[in-house]
Amino acid sequence: MKAKIIHITQASGGVKTFILNIFKASNIELEHILISSDRDFCDEVEKLKRNNKFYFVKMTRGLSLFIDIYSLIRIFVIVNKEKPCIIHCHSAKGGAIGRIVSLFTNTKCVFTPNAFSYIGFVGFRYKFYLGIEKFLKKFTTLLLAVSESERLRAKNEVGYKDNKIQVVPNSIFVKKKDLKKHDEITIGMIGRLTFQKNPIEYIKLANEIKLKGFNIRFILKGAGYHDYLREEVNELITKLNIQDIIEIESWDKSMSVENFYNTIDIFILTSRFEGLPFSLLESMSYKVPSIVSNVDGNKDVISHGYDGFVYNSFEELVKFTELLIKDVGYRLNMGDNAHKTIDSKFNIEKNIFMIDKLYFNLAN
């Protein structure tokens, strides 16, 4: 009989990629079931044709008492019916509901934060959500961190013991890529138009590069999904008069993610916090050098000066961008190194064995 694992998540984006990659690469002796509030995600799981089961359950991003209670009861009924060996819950809301359900069903529970929710807040809300994490820690069999930085945060801030944490970095399917050189340079970023992704800094970078006299095209792909800063982004672009050099792409626009990576020459990530971003891994796999903010996840991937740059200030962001624009040889060599890094450290076809081993050990 196959070991059965139920995955619970409200989140999409990188969390969806994390779970899909497990579903695609995991040992066929493991049966994976998805519980998600994203209908498109459920459809993608069905298309995998690996006999993976899924359930659509409405969940909200924030606190919503009635919907949260409904979600909890509905998921409890599903888990009680499926009787999995392990509940693997992902991100904030899925992590909270999944761990509570695991308590009432006496099921082992793995939790993957993909960036703890409390780090996006300050003051009372920071303490409140940190307090929730400390409470739910009691019901967590194992915390599966996606980076060493996330492991340290789990240990030093939430209070997990070393033997309750395992690190398996976010990983992707890596393809062989050729070095590319375009006549005109394009700079790109992927991210929702939200506080976390900090698109305002990216817009300011585009303006600064234009003021320095460079003729560079900028693309920001990620509008249309929780993009509550869309109006502020558009107003800033108009105020700076840079409509001619920057394009805001929706997730569902004609340029696919693959075409996006094949188009750009430099990847920027201005995030205020991360777990370990798949967009960064993907850009590097396409031999695109990256310049990223110095936060959890970003700094775990990039070897500064070798396969990308990690910046600590806006001035450094501008300096590193200007360097890669001017030095074609350095840019291409850095992109080649980026692909080597991803293939050696963040390849799902290699790292899936660590996740499968974790599942098998907990199931037995």
Q: List the domains of the chain with CATH numbers.
A: 3-172+348-363 (3.40.50.2000), 186-345 (3.40.50.2000)
Q: What does pTM read for this prediction? A: 0.91
User: In terms of C-beta density within 10 A (0-12 exposed, 13-18 middle, 19 or more buried), how is residue 241 classed?
Assistant: exposed
Supply the pLDDT for residue 213.
95
Angstrom distances, CA of residue 14 to CA of 11, 72, 82, 304, 313: 8, 23, 26, 23, 25
What mean pLDDT comes out for the span 28-44? 91
Q: How confident is the model at residue 253 (pLDDT cuts 50, 70, 90)?
A: low
Q: What is the pLDDT of residues 69-100, one digit of tens each?
A: 999 999 999 999 999 999 999 999 999 999 99
Supply the pLDDT for residue 100.
97
Q: Which residues pair with 142 in a beta bridge?
A: 110
CA–chain centroid gap for 6, Å, is: 20
Supply the pLDDT for residue 254.
58
**How far is the C-alpha of 339 from the C-alpha of 313, rounded, in Å?**
26
Supply the pLDDT for residue 255.
66
Query: 197 pLDDT exceeds 90?
Result: yes
Q: What is the pLDDT of residues 330-350, one digit of tens each?
A: 999 999 999 999 999 999 999
Of the chain, the percentage scoring pLDDT greater than 90 comes to 80
**How far is the C-alpha of 216 from the C-alpha of 348, rounded, in Å?**
34
